[in-house]
């Protein structure tokens, strides 16, 4: 019997009947997907065997689960689950393993009464994702290392791990007093973690700048899910991340005049190739709710650590639940500067008030977009907002002298900068477990 005749003959009892892909159960009671046999490598290999046994033929018959285009039989193809990669980075930037808290003695000891506030914070920012209940990134040491001592003048070494904020190797810029929608021009070396994503046009091969992001380690950029998945891919494919950018019109070094005379110049902008884009597994580009709008970009090589390129720190607290009143945050990027101009040539920033859910919810609830714990709001002041072109960029909080990324530009009102209507940002603190689990050496 030829393979084609055998395919036509597979019409025995079936586990499921579908149009398109559907979950089904294989003859050995495993989880599978109902697809055409030519798309299922394990069963196709059996079908193409020169000498099939009775057991082979029985398996093919029992795997039949429906019919597809042209009435061709479909089979329940076993789902191959890749082994779980439990590697993660600890708060100190060491390689660890994502385990249940009870399986990590060093962190369990921190929660032995009396419990210090710093210990609770340490455990919270060590969270990661695994099948175990309340998972943490457990380091290689039997005890949690003491806080690192910052040595003045010591060099910061870039790595794939997010830097420990206590080392001051993240979140530090030297931006000064040089004078986004309604925003001001930044200093030339301000916010050195800001990035621009280069897309290669689908239709014309031209380079397009459609989204921003923030460098959070030597190897990873944090951005919005809608910047790497969904309709944006109909416009262009993400290919590079620009680091150290200031004025997109300049191909070499950017220079500005400084107070007192003279000029201050950057290093040339550095484009690094994208190795992989990692949107959150639960981000749905077609969903109106726009939840889980977060993604990581893994760079093909390590970014250098310079005055104009360095990472921002991940947050150490949930700013939306922090009791500090009148918190103002910064958002920066190359987004719209007015309703007429959709993109700025130079890096801009604007300060915005943190908004409560009660201040933010009514506008979006009316539009059937209820907010949830994975989002926070900022803005609501007339003429000041993140806007088109800022997507994926960071919402930042200055915690002492360290800048932390607390939000990612997700969506907002149209037009931008409407009074009493804050913009919506993905709350980074909520996604720390996911971030720590996705970042790999």
Q: Is 391 a catalytic residue?
A: yes
How many whole angstroms separate alpha carbon 155 and alpha carbon 147?
A: 17
In the sheet that 73-78 helps form, which strands lie side by side, from edge to edge?
23-25, 31-36, 73-78, 64-67
User: Which residue in the list 126, 391, 410, 437 is annotated as catalytic?
Assistant: 391
How many whole angstroms separate alpha carbon 406 and alpha carbon 398?
A: 10
Identify the residue whose tokens are 């550095």.
Answer: 270
Length reported for the chain: 441
In this structure, the strands spanning 73-78 and 64-67 are: antiparallel
Contact 345, 247 (CB under 8 A): yes
User: Which residue in the list 226, 344, 386, 437 is annotated as catalytic?
Assistant: 226
Q: Is 293 a catalytic residue?
A: yes
Q: Is 226 a catalytic residue?
A: yes
Identify the residue whose tokens are 């042209």.
Answer: 70
Contact 178, 189 (CB under 8 A): no
- Using the Cα atoms of residue 414, residue 420, residue 423 and residue 426 in order, give the sign of their dihedral: negative
How many whole angstroms separate alpha carbon 20 and alpha carbon 18?
A: 6
Among the listed residues 153, 119, 123, 149, the one whose alpha carbon sits nearest the alpha carbon of residue 135: 123
How many whole angstroms separate alpha carbon 214 and alpha carbon 157?
A: 18
290: which residues sit within 8 A by CB, 6+ positions away? 226, 369, 410, 411, 424
User: Which residue in the list 293, 385, 386, 437 is annotated as catalytic?
Assistant: 293
Backbone φ, ψ for residue 276 (5° rounding) = -160, 150
Determine the number of helices (DSSP H) and then strands (DSSP E) in the chain.
Answer: 7, 22
Structure tokens at 273: 């190739």
How many whole angstroms separate alpha carbon 313 and alpha carbon 410?
A: 20
- Say if residue 233 is preceded by a cis peptide, omega within 30 of 0: no
Structure tokens at 366: 């009316």
Residues designated catalytic: 226, 293, 391
């Amino acid at each position: 019997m030829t393979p084609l005749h055998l395919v036509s003959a597979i019409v025995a009892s079936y586990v499921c009947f579908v149009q398109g892909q559907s979950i089904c159960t294989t003859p050995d009671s495993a989880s599978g997907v109902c697809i055409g046999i030519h798309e299922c490598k394990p069963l196709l290999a059996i079908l193409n065997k020169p000498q099939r046994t009775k057991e082979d033929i029985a398996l093919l018959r029992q795997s039949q689960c429906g019919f597809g285009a042209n009435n061709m039989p479909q089979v329940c193809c076993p789902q191959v689950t890749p082994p779980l990669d439990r590697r993660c980075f600890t708060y100190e930037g060491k390689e660890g393993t994502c385990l249940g808290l009870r399986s990590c003695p060093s962190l369990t000891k921190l929660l032995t009464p009396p419990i210090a506030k710093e210990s609770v914070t340490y455990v919270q920012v060590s969270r990661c994702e695994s099948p175990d209940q309340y998972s943490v990134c457990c380091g290689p040491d039997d005890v949690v290392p003491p806080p690192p001592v910052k040595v003045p003048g010591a060099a910061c070494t870039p790595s794939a791990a997010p830097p420990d904020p206590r080392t001051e190797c993240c979140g530090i810029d030297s931006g000064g007093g040089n004078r986004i929608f309604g925003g001001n021009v930044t200093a030339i070396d301000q916010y050195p973690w800001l990035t621009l994503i280069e897309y290669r046009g689908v239709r014309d091969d031209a380079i397009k700048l459609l989204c921003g992001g923030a460098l959070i380690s030597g190897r990873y950029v944090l951005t919005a899910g809608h910047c790497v998945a969904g309709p944006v891919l109909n416009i262009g494919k993400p290919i590079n991340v620009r680091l150290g950018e200031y004025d997109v019109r300049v191909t070499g070094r950017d220079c500005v005049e400084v107070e007192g005379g003279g000029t201050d110049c950057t290093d040339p902008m550095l484009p690094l190739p994208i190795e992989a884009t990692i949107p959150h597994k639960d981000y749905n580009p077609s969903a109106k709710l726009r939840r889980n709008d977060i993604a990581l970009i893994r760079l093909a090589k390590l970014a250098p650590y310079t005055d104009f390129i360095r990472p921002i720190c991940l947050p150490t607290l949930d700013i939306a639940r922090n009791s500090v009143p009148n918190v103002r945050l910064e958002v920066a990027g190359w987004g719209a500067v007015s309703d007429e101009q959709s993109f700025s040539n130079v890096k801009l920033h604007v300060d915005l008030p943190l908004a409560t859910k009660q201040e933010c919810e009514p506008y979006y609830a009316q539009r059937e977009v209820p907010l949830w714990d994975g989002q926070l709001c900022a803005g609501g002041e007339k003429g000041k907002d993140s806007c088109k072109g800022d997507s994926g960029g960071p919402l930042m909080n200055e915690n002492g002298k360290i800048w932390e990324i607390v939000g990612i530009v997700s969506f907002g009102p149209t037009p931008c900068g409407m009074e009493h209507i804050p913009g919506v940002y993905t709350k980074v603190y909520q996604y720390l477990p996911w971030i720590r689990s996705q970042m790999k050496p």
